Chain A
Amino acid sequence: MTGENSETRTRNIRFSAAGVYIQGVKTALASRMAYRGDFIMSMLIMMIVEFGGPVITLIIYNNGASFPGWNQYEVLLLQGIFLLSRGIAFPFFMGIVWNTIGRVREGTFDLLLIKPRSILLMTVVTGFDSEDLGKLIGGILVFRYALKNLPVQPASHWVSFLILFVFSLILMFAFALFMAGLGIVWVGNYRIYDIFMSVIDFGLYPKSIFTKTFQSILTYIIPVSLLASYPASALLGDLDQSVFMALLSSVVFLLLGFMFYFKMVRNYTSAGG
């Protein structure tokens, strides 16, 4: 009886969302390891690519220029947070975008639809991108480098930072839902990423450098400022009241993302696989 219970428990864990996800990660890693050299090289490149923004910042400051109100390490901290957020989002759930686009084009999206789990879970699970772990390493390195050159922050700053960082990831997920939804109707168009990358580029720099109109758009409409600018301000103890509107906006953005994604899934018409 006890043995049966333990077996059921193991089976439940294995087939839970987390269990299925872990299995997907293992499979993705195993298949990518078939070309280890290329995998390591790609991961390394992903990491180096992430240094692009911070290197530009260093060059700007080394040329005697600066962003008003921000010193070099504060900007690097902001960019480190941005890269951390991207470094978590891209390998762990942003893969739903290329996965959806690729599968819709090939016709294999149908295979996921007939699985006995949510289509969203299945696209996340099969979209784990191991190469993008390089982005995460890059983000950690920039974040650490900036932190080491800034004064130690009190625990309260860290708590508010962590809360805002969670919202940063929520926002990333909302973006992923919009892009994946678009990928269902805009067949085979990987350039959807370009739209996303161009928009989130605003998040790589302090909010204060933009005009008031753009600041409002980036806070209330598409809260890109929440990706890094607000979490960095929280960590540096310089948060303003507009953050609450940004948080609300991110939740609305996520709900809209879910609605959009599932509407697109409902509209999906298979052409066979």
Chain B
Amino acid sequence: MQGTAVKKGNSPPRVFKSVITATFKEHMAYRSRMAVSVFAQPVYFLVNYFIWQAIFQIRDTVSGFTFGQMLSYFAVSSLVGFLNWDDSGNVLPMLVQTGGFITFQLRPVSHIYYSFFQKVGHRIMAFLIEMLPVVCFYIMLGINLVPAEPFWVLISLFLSFVLSFLINYTIGTFAFWFVRTDGVRRAVYLFTSICSGAFLPLNLFPYSFQKLLFYLPFQFIAYVPVRVFIGQYELAGITMSIPQIVFLQAVMVAVMFLVNRALWYMGIKHFTGVGA
């Protein structure tokens, strides 16, 4: 009887729920840090607003975007950014460096799932503290935040949430080989941000670069969810229906998961921990 109770208590859904709750409570203590976004994001957006307003004074469209669509792009991409942000690429190297990682190897939960559900807990709080006020700001500014196809948007957002985690976590696994990975992580973070379309719609980049971007996983983090939100997808002259591009996004998540697992097992073999 007691054994059954212990088993139930340790069942994965309960463990993951506990991780989500604990992370939420832990970060709730530092909620004012997150609340900085309520000031910073509207200011960033205003800068973009003025830039594009000035540009659209001379032209009606830029790379197929109208002024309204461009603003929607930046608004939705910032919201996707809030949703996808995670620190797993920093936490794992820190655990490896400090030796704290050894304790995770002794726990009956794989670290990747633990880390993923930490992200879930953290992002639930971000939704309440960062996203909702910023959404209100966008609505006040008259930005169109009505998705073209809500069902596909939800799926695409979920997939981008998982994919961004897998990419960050994969970057973190490099800590098994390098003592300090700050430089590598910064490089990859920069590359990811540019190639995901977080700074600028990808179809504004030179055509040859767009072609390269089409085959990389990064567009599925921000560009694809935003284009799904707008209701039309186009990159490097390739147009796809929304279900098609979401399917490709799912395939990319599966590929990234396999890449991560392969790197993980190689890294674990390489890892040597002394004390904790």
How many A-B residue pairs have C-beta atoms within 8 angstroms? Tell me.
103
A113 interface residue per 8 A CB criterion: no
B187–A41 touching, CB < 8 Å: yes
B43–A198 touching, CB < 8 Å: yes
B204–A59 touching, CB < 8 Å: yes
- What is the 8 Å Cβ interface bit string for chain B, positions 4-41, against chain A (1 contact, 0 not)? 00000000000000000000000000101110110111
- What is the 8 Å Cβ interface bit string for chain A, positions 64-100, against chain B (1 contact, 0 not)? 1111100000000000000000000000000000000
Which chain A residues border B51 with CB–CB below 8 Å?
Answer: 60, 67, 205, 209
B187–A65 touching, CB < 8 Å: no
Least CB distance from B77 to A in Å reads: 14
Which chain B residues border A44 with CB–CB below 8 Å?
Answer: 183, 187
What total of chain A residues lie within 8 Å of the partner, measured CB to CB? 42
Give complex CA distance A80, B159 in Å.
Answer: 38
B152 interface residue per 8 A CB criterion: no
Which chain B residues border A197 with CB–CB below 8 Å?
Answer: 40
Least CB distance from B82 to A in Å reads: 13
Which chain A residues border B54 with CB–CB below 8 Å?
Answer: 67-68, 209
Which chain B residues border A64 with CB–CB below 8 Å?
Answer: 59, 62
Q: Please report which residues of chain B, range 33-59, place their CB below 8 angstroms from some CB of chain A when the two chains form the complex.
A: 33-34, 36-37, 39-41, 43-44, 46-47, 50-51, 53-55, 57-59
Which chain A residues border B32 with CB–CB below 8 Å?
Answer: 186, 189
Give complex CA distance A259, B256 in Å.
Answer: 52
Which chain B residues border A192 with CB–CB below 8 Å?
Answer: 36
A2 interface residue per 8 A CB criterion: no
A194–B36 touching, CB < 8 Å: yes
B206 interface residue per 8 A CB criterion: yes
- What is the 8 Å Cβ interface bit string for chain B, positions 173-197, against chain A (1 contact, 0 not)? 0000011111110110010001000
B55–A214 touching, CB < 8 Å: no
B40–A205 touching, CB < 8 Å: no
Least CB distance from B129 to A in Å reads: 12
A38 interface residue per 8 A CB criterion: yes
B43–A68 touching, CB < 8 Å: no
A205-B184 contact given A198-B39, A198-B44, CB 8 Å threshold: no
Which chain A residues border B59 with CB–CB below 8 Å?
Answer: 64-65
A45–B190 touching, CB < 8 Å: yes
Which chain A residues border B44 with CB–CB below 8 Å?
Answer: 198, 201
Least CB distance from B56 to A in Å reads: 8
Least CB distance from B65 to A in Å reads: 10
A160 interface residue per 8 A CB criterion: no
Cβ-defined partner of B183 (8 Å) among A42, A67, A195, A201: A42
Q: Which residue of chain B has the shortest Cβ distance to A41 in the bound complex?
A: B183
A266 interface residue per 8 A CB criterion: no
List the one stretch of A48-56, A170-178, A230-238, A244-252 in contact with chain B: A48-56
A63–B204 touching, CB < 8 Å: yes
Which chain A residues border B47 with CB–CB below 8 Å?
Answer: 198, 201-202, 204-205
A209–B43 touching, CB < 8 Å: no
A191–B58 touching, CB < 8 Å: no
Give complex CA distance A228, B13 in Å.
Answer: 54
Give complex CA distance A192, B35 in Å.
Answer: 11
A35-B179 contact given A45-B187, A186-B32, CB 8 Å threshold: yes
A211–B205 touching, CB < 8 Å: no
Give complex CA distance A46, B186 in Å.
Answer: 9
Which chain B residues border A214 with CB–CB below 8 Å?
Answer: 46, 50
A48–B190 touching, CB < 8 Å: yes
B265 interface residue per 8 A CB criterion: no
Chain B residues packing against A (C-beta within 8 Å): 30, 32-34, 36-37, 39-41, 43-44, 46-47, 50-51, 53-55, 57-59, 62-63, 178-184, 186-187, 190, 194, 199-200, 204-206
In the A-B complex, the 9 residue pairs with the smallest Cβ-Cβ separation, listed nearest first, are A41-B183, A209-B54, A198-B43, A191-B36, A198-B40, A45-B186, A38-B180, A42-B183, A194-B40
A-B contact pairs, 29 of them (CB 8 A): A35-B179, A38-B180, A38-B182, A38-B183, A40-B183, A41-B184, A44-B183, A48-B187, A52-B194, A56-B200, A59-B204, A60-B55, A60-B62, A60-B204, A63-B62, A63-B63, A64-B59, A64-B62, A65-B59, A67-B51, A188-B30, A191-B40, A195-B40, A198-B44, A198-B47, A201-B47, A204-B47, A205-B47, A205-B50
